[in-house]
Every structure is written in C-alpha cells, then in structure tokens.
Amino acid sequence: MIALLGYVVVLGALLIAAVWLVRRSERRLGAGPDAHAAPTQLATDVTSEITAYLDRMTGELALPAADVAEVRAELADHLQDSIASLEAEGLDRDSAIREALGRLGPAAELGRQLRMAHQSKRRLLAGVGGGVFAGGGGFVLGYLGGIMLALFAALALALATPLLAAVGLRLPDITSGDHSGNAVNSIFLAVATAIAAGAATRYAVRTSASLSRRTPRSVSVFWAVGGGLGFGWWAIFGMRGAQSWPSVAIELCVPLVAVVAAFVRIERSMPHVGRWALFVGLVAVVGSGLLFAVAGSVSSSVINTIGEQPDLHLDSVAPAAPAAWFPEDVNFGGGWGSDSASGGTQVSLELNPDLGGPAIAAILANWREVRFEAWHALPMDMPGLLAGIDTRYSSPIEVQSASLSDTSFEAVFHLERFRDSGSWWIVLTAVGPDGHRYRLESGMGGDARFNGSAWDWLTAPQ
C-alpha cells in the first residue's frame, strides 16, 4: 500500500513537473514574448527602412517566436536610441538612420550571429534533457488520456450497437469467442500506448525546441527517429501481455504515430492541460480500474462452476494402457503450475512411491517414448460447460518429452505462446511393447491466455 502511494506521488510529481515545463515552453514557442516579460509599448515611429532591416535580420534567426519578438523589440529600441543620439550630434534624420543601421552591420549577418549566440551547446543539452523529461510526462499523460478515450469509445460503441442493430446494421464482433476479455484488454492497452507515444513525441519536440531555442520543425526529425525507433521497439517487441489481431495492428502503427506526431502541424500549440483535467483524468482512470477489478472478481466467481464430464473423450487422444503392462492400481499424483523461470506451464506426475523402486522399474520397462500431449479442451472459462478434450481437433497443440526425475515425469509447456490455445488438457502417453501409443494417465486441464509481444503474436504458431 505504501509502495502504491509512493508510486502515485512520484508519478504525480513527474506529471506536474512535465506539464509545468511544457507550459513554459509553449509560452516561448507562442506567437509573441511572454506577457510578463515583453515590452508593453514598442516604438511606433519605426521607418520602413528600419522595418526592412529588422525583417531581413529576423529572417535569419530561426528561433522560437517569443525570442524573435524579443530580439526584434530590443533592436528596434536600440536603433531608436542610436538614431536619437546621432540626431543630437547634428546628423539629419535620414543620415542618422543610415549610420545607426550601418553600425549594426549587415542585417543577415547580425541575424546569423544572434542565432548562433542563442543556440548554444548548453541550451542544446538542456533541450535534449528537457525533451526526454517532457516526453516521459507526455507518455504518462497520453496513456491516461488514451485509456479515457478507449473507455469513452467502448461506451459509445456499447450504446451504438443496439441502435445500429435496430436499423439492420451489425458491427463485426471482435470479441467473438473471447470469454476471458483478452481482445478488449489488449485493444485498450494498444490504443493507450499509441496515443501515449504520439503525445510523448510531440511534447519532446516542442519542449526541446523551446529549451534549445530552435524552431520545432528543425528538431522534429531527431525526435521522429528517436520516438519511432524507441516507441516502435517497445510496442512491437517490448510490451508483453494479452494480444489480439486488432491490438497487434494498432501496435504496428505506433512507430508511424510517433513520426506523424513529430511532424504534422508541429508549429501549432499543444492543447492546454489544466489542473482539473489532470485531476479528472486520474480519478477516471483509478475509478475505472477499481470498477474493472470489482467486475473481474464477480465474473471469476461465476466461472468457477465447471462440472465434470463422465467421458472426457480421452480415447480420442490414445486408448488407456492395458492392465497387463500398466496395472490399474498404479496411481499418479501431481499437477501443473507456473514455471517461474520461463513463464510457461510446468506439469509433473509422480508415480506412487509406495510401490517401491523395483516395481516401478518393472512397470516402466514396458514403456518407451513417454511424453505429455497438450490438446485443445472444451472451454473451461464459461459457466455451465463441462471439461474434456475438444474432439474437433485431430492433433495436439504441443507435445513435450516427459523427463523422468526419480519417480516423476516432468515437462514444461509454453501454451501462452500460442495464439488460440485457450482451454487445454494434458495427457501422459507412451509407446507400449506392441508398438502402439497408449494413455498412461488421464492428465489435467487448464486455461491458457496468450502472453507475449506483438512480434511474438505475429510469429506464434496457431
């Protein structure tokens, strides 16, 4: 609980700091100088000659808008002062203007010098660091916004579906056969990630441009490459969890989203994110999370009503081992669990040790090529259904050799790496003295969900 509180506090502090940094940057990138710092009254009697000079000079600046406005205002002020001094020395107005402009040197050269003065290495480093930091904050903010957007979209879809059905339009059911909610969860996650990647890249571009005193357009290519590669790698290879075809399609678009976010209308200001927007976003996400947690616990309590079928259709896998070679009083004990090292499913069946070593050795001498076979089973995550082998399938999902350790047969399955393994049943089989394969143990059943990256999904066996 304390760790969770600490996590929320750190996340909140990061968000507030990032939003503050972005707001500050937005003021610099805005249309004019900061209202608190800008000159409130600029020279009004600036001649066309001076205006043309200032235009040529600012044309070379390539700085954020606020800096351009400040430099222009400062030089206009300087020229006014200079012209007044020269007139006081006895020069006429036109000569004074020419002399004042001449003393500042060629406009284009002055603009280049000022640009180099502003775009120092120190500011470039600040821009890179600030961009990364703002990008992190933008990612969190985008993620929260993405979850909210996905929630609203799901709500709108839930409301629209019956209305569309009433007028004869049926939407494709992407959750068909998805009793565990994998598809919906993975789509939520993918949408949130895509929006987060876009927001992070945009925040990084604009903040780094402001801090390094460059135009957003001039730095966007670096962040497009960085964001595209970084977020693309994360979305396609790094982000592990439930997957579905729609979610994989969205995740494959994440690099493109980052690139587009770095370029398209990058000169436009970021939408204003106020304190209330942050507060409402956090409350909505935490509230919906709690709602889902409660709904999940209710639904899981419903699921636990699976009955046992007298015939598990195990003969469709292999016939039971003849009593002559495998006495009926020989029992296995054991079960399955998660393999902490690989994340797979570890199965273990132990022969009754009371039989004694010589008896066990005599029984096992009849058998060779002992293996575990994982078969598709009838769905176990729906209430009222009975367990057993799904006879629509003619071959197992996965086969693993059973390694004998003392009196136990063991194997590790990776059913979470299959796209549609769903419910499974694992049976222990072996080849008898007559050369036919028989069933030594009825085995055990469970439910597997795909767990991996988008790339794992694309390359996974069916």
Residues making contact with another protein (CB under 8 A) = 33, 37-42, 70-71, 73-75, 77-78, 81-82, 85, 102-106, 109-110, 113-114, 116-120, 122-123, 213
Comparing CB distances to another protein, the nearer of 82 and 429 is 82
* Residue partners of 264: CB distance under 8 A and separation at least 6: none
The distance of closest approach from Cβ of residue 120 to another protein in the complex, given in angstroms and rounded to an integer, is 4
Shortest Å distance, C-beta 204 to another protein: 21
Q: Please, what is the minimum distance in Å from the beta carbon of residue 88 to another protein?
A: 13
Residue closer to another protein, measured from CB, 212 or 453: 212
Task: Please report how close the Cβ of residue 55 comes to another protein at its closest, in angstroms.
Answer: 17
Residue with tokens 């002992």: 370
Nearer to another protein, 77 or 315 (CB): 77
For residues 360 and 402, what is the distance between their CA atoms, to the nearest angstrom? 16
| Residue 93 or 103 having the CB closest to another protein | 103
**In the bound complex, what is the minimum distance in angstroms from residue 30's beta carbon to another protein?**
16
Task: Give the nearest distance from C-beta 102 to another protein in angstroms.
Answer: 7
Tally of CB atoms within 10 A around 28? 20
Q: Based on CB atoms, which residue is closest to another protein, 71 or 448? A: 71
Instruction: For another protein, give the closer residue by CB, 29 or 114.
Output: 114
Cβ contact 184:198 at 8 Å: no
Query: Least distance to another protein from the beta carbon of 78, Å?
Result: 5
State the nearest-atom distance from the C-beta of 82 to another protein, in Å: 7
State the nearest-atom distance from the C-beta of 99 to another protein, in Å. Answer: 8
Task: Rank residues 42 and 159 by Cβ distance to another protein and give the closer one.
Answer: 42
**CB-wise, 119 or 366, nearer to another protein?**
119
Cα distance from N-terminal residue to C-terminal residue, the chain:
40
CB of 25 to another protein, least distance (A): 16
Nearer to another protein, 76 or 259 (CB): 76
Give the nearer residue to another protein in terms of CB position, either 43 or 320. 43
Q: How would you write the chain as a 3-class SS string? A: CHHHHHHHHHHHHHHHHHHHHHHHHHHHHCCCCCCCCCCCCCCCCCCHHHHHHHHHHHHCCCCCHHHHHHHHHHHHHHHHHHHHHHHHCCCCHHHHHHHHHHHHCCHHHHHHHHHHHHCCHHHHHHHHHHHHHHHHHHHHHHHHHHHHHHHHHHHHHHHHHHHHHHCCCCCCCCCCCCCCCHHHHHHHHHHHHHHHHHHHHHHHHHHHHHHCCCCHHHHHHHHHHHHHHHHHHHHHHHCCECCCHHHHHHHHCHHHHHHHHHHCCCCCCCCCCCHHHHHHHHHHHHHHHHHHHHHHHHHHHHHCCCECCCCCCHHHCCCECCCCCCCCCCCEEEEEEECCCCCCEEEEEEECHHHCHHHHHHHHCCCEEEEEEEEEECCCCCCCCECCECCCCCCCCEEEECEEECCEEEEEECHHHCCCCCEEEEEEEEECCCCCEEEEEEEEEEECCCCECHHHHHHCCC
